[in-house]
């Protein structure tokens, strides 16, 4: 039986074509919007974009400048407490200090109190990973398999609740505000709940299920730098205790920069504070627990208002101004180049 053999290509025959099929899809003849870029359309795009960005930028900058804010550094004013806290053996000793200041004008509207830290780096990879999200959801997990080490268990095997370096370094100064009016001292009412995001409070953080919190955290121990267990963070409000404590939730949202501020309290607008903070003399009474001297840090208390664009941060407005200026300059440069080339073309045509 003879096999079939292919006949050799004839001399002079064209090689097989490698072009795509002559179809609308492969030849890219499908219906599409194909804009024709003209000088008018390009210049109008640049100028309109620039005008829009400049307008928004000016509004954002003016809005940020209208915010009333007062910032007080109490690192040096509480130096005695700072020296006491540098010795870890004094962790169970209380230390209080007071900082006086004066408001020359009323701060009207909603007033927010922040605590600020300087030179405190939270963006280290090991620090950011040192947490157990499963534990913070109230699940019974083996934290030795998490990234919490070395803040996971004690030497006797007792697990820490919550575990990790972030939770262990939680800011724990207590700050109260008092209004000095006519030789009388009035404590300013502050709200310590409702400061965290809804998703954090209801989705990302949950307490273990039990008939009470103390039994839910039975068999665990507080982190080494804490003064009380997690189920006693807020002894006055059961709904603001444990892993769903607002101060704890806000601290667990780490910052990208070494200098940052976190929301601490909000003014409760009642009685003489219904319109905001009136002008006068005030006092911060601080229970000093958070040492910062070893890493050359600073601590601040900030009282600030907010506007429709947010807090006191002009970065977004400046970014819009820079983008708008760049777009407008690009439009003028293109216009100049076009006029120069057109003048040159007209000159050669006359020659």
8 Å CB contact between 172 and 289: yes
pLDDT at 6 over 70: no
Q: Which two tokens stand for residue 66?
A: 């209208």
Segment 270-298 mean pLDDT: 91
pLDDT at 70 over 60: yes
- The rounded distance, in Å, linking the Cα atoms of 158 and 221 is 7
Confidence of residue 260 (pLDDT cuts 50, 70, 90): very high
8 Å CB contact between 306 and 67: yes
The predicted structure's pLDDT at residue 120? 94
8 Å CB contact between 111 and 263: no
**Residue of 135, 108, 150 whose CA lies nearest to 267:** 108
pLDDT at 3 over 70: no
Secondary element (H or E) of residue 125: helix 125-129
Confidence of residue 328 (pLDDT cuts 50, 70, 90): very high
Segment 79-108 mean pLDDT: 86
Torsion angle (degrees, nearest 10) of CA 272, 273, 277, 280: 20
Longest dimension (CA), the chain: 122
User: Which three-class secondary structure state does DSSP give residue 191?
Assistant: strand
The percentage of the chain sitting over the pLDDT mark of 70, rounded to a whole number, equals: 93
Confidence of residue 339 (pLDDT cuts 50, 70, 90): confident
Confidence of residue 331 (pLDDT cuts 50, 70, 90): very high
- The rounded distance, in Å, linking the Cα atoms of 187 and 283 is 9
8 Å CB contact between 179 and 191: no
- The rounded distance, in Å, linking the Cα atoms of 175 and 190 is 10
Strand partners, 303: 70, 113
- The rounded distance, in Å, linking the Cα atoms of 91 and 112 is 29
The predicted structure's pLDDT at residue 12? 58
Confidence of residue 178 (pLDDT cuts 50, 70, 90): very high
**Residue of 169, 174, 149, 300 whose CA lies nearest to 233:** 174
**What is the average pLDDT value for the chain, to the nearest integer?**
88
The predicted structure's pLDDT at residue 56? 95
Q: What is the pTM of this model?
A: 0.80
Segment 125-140 mean pLDDT: 92
Confidence of residue 313 (pLDDT cuts 50, 70, 90): confident
- The rounded distance, in Å, linking the Cα atoms of 258 and 252 is 15
pLDDT at 148 over 60: yes
Confidence of residue 11 (pLDDT cuts 50, 70, 90): low
The predicted structure's pLDDT at residue 348? 59
Collect all residues with Cβ–Cβ distance below 8 Å to 242 and sequence separation of at least 6. 207, 213, 216, 217, 230, 231, 233
Cα-based distances in Å from 106 to 53, 280, 282, 307: 33, 8, 12, 16
The predicted structure's pLDDT at residue 9? 56
Q: Which two tokens stand for residue 167?
A: 């939770």
Q: What share of the chain is helix, strand, coil (3-state, %, to 5)?
A: 35, 20, 45
Does 57 or 141 have the greater pLDDT score? 57
pLDDT at 1 over 60: no
pLDDT at 14 over 50: yes
- The rounded distance, in Å, linking the Cα atoms of 50 and 41 is 14
8 Å CB contact between 266 and 56: no
The predicted structure's pLDDT at residue 49? 95
């Amino acid at each position: 039986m003879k096999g079939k053999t292919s006949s050799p290509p004839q001399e002079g025959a064209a090689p097989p074509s490698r072009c795509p099929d002559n179809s609308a899809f492969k030849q890219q003849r499908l219906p599409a919007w194909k804009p024709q870029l003209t000088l008018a359309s390009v210049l109008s795009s640049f100028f309109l974009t620039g005008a829009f960005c400049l307008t928004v930028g000016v509004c954002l900058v003016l809005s940020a400048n209208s915010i009333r804010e007062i910032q007080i550094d109490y690192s040096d004013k509480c130096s005695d407490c700072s020296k006491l806290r540098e010795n870890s053996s004094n962790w169970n000793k209380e230390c209080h200090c007071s900082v006086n200041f004066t408001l020359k004008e009323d701060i009207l509207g909603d007033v927010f109190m922040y605590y600020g830290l300087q030179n405190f780096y939270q963006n280290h990879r090991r620090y950011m990973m040192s947490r157990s999200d499963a534990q913070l959801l109230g699940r019974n997990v083996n934290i030795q398999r998490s990234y919490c080490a070395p803040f996971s268990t004690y030497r006797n095997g007792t697990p820490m609740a919550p575990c990790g370096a972030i939770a262990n370094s939680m800011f724990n100064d207590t700050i109260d505000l008092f209004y000095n009016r006519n030789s009388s001292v009035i404590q300013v009412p502050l709200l310590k709940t409702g400061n965290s995001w809804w998703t954090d409070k209801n989705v990302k953080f949950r307490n273990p299920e039990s008939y009470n919190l103390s039994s839910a955290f039975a068999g665990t121990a507080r982190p080494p730098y804490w003064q009380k267990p997690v189920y006693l963070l807020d002894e006055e409000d059961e709904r603001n205790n444990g892993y769903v404590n607002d101060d704890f939730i806000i601290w667990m949202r780490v910052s990208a920069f070494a200098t940052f501020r976190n929301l601490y309290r909000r003014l409760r607008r009642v009685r003489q504070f219904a319109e905001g903070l009136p002008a006068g003399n005030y006092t911060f009474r601080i229970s000093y627990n958070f040492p910062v001297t070893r890493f050359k840090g600073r601590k601040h208390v900030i009282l600030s208002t907010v506007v429709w664009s947010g807090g006191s941060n002009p970065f977004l407005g400046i970014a819009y101004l820079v983008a708008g200026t760049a777009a407008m300059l690009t439009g003028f440069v293109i216009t100049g180049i076009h006029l120069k080339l057109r003048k040159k073309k007209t000159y050669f045509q006359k020659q």
